[in-house]
């Protein structure tokens, strides 16, 4: 995810420029799927501008801690407890302001 996002962000202007005109005729391009994809990329760029990077970093640390906790529980043979902890963390993330 960390590597994919910068690639998408860097590709958006190129895709937008390519979509502005049809290279053969110089006429505006009429590819609705490409236009829809460009709109989604633009929306994602706008969303990423507003992300609280410190909150995201905190979530990353919590996820690392959870990973260690789940591995420890699994190693101790407590698979159900590990699964419940992971589910609870997923619910916490879903309700987290930084993720919405």
Residue 84: per-residue pLDDT: 94
Domain presence at residue 40: no
Q: How confident is the model at residue 85 (pLDDT cuts 50, 70, 90)?
A: very high
d(CA 40, CA 46): 10
Question: Is the predicted pLDDT of residue 13 greater than 80, yes or no?
Answer: no
Domain presence at residue 38: no
Q: Which residues constitute the domain of residue 80? A: 49-99
**Total of domains in the chain:** 1
Domain presence at residue 67: yes
Domain presence at residue 64: yes
What number of CA atoms fall less than 13 Å from residue 4's CA on the CB side?
A: 3
This model's pTM is above 0.95: no
Domain presence at residue 74: yes
Residue 53: per-residue pLDDT: 82
Domain presence at residue 90: yes
Question: Tens digits of per-residue pLDDT, 38-83?
Answer: 888 888 888 778 777 888 888 889 999 999 999 999 999 999 999 9
């Amino acid at each position: 995810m960390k590597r994919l996002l910068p690639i998408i962000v860097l590709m958006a202007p190129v895709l937008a420029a390519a979509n502005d005109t049809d290279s053969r005729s110089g006429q505006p391009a009429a590819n609705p799927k490409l236009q829809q994809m460009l709109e989604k990329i633009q929306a994602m760029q706008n969303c990423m501008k507003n992300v609280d990077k410190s909150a995201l970093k905190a979530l990353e640390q919590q996820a690392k801690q959870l990973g260690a906790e789940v591995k420890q529980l699994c190693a101790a043979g407590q698979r159900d407890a590990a699964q419940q902890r992971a589910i609870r963390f997923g619910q916490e993330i879903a309700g987290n302001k930084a993720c919405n």
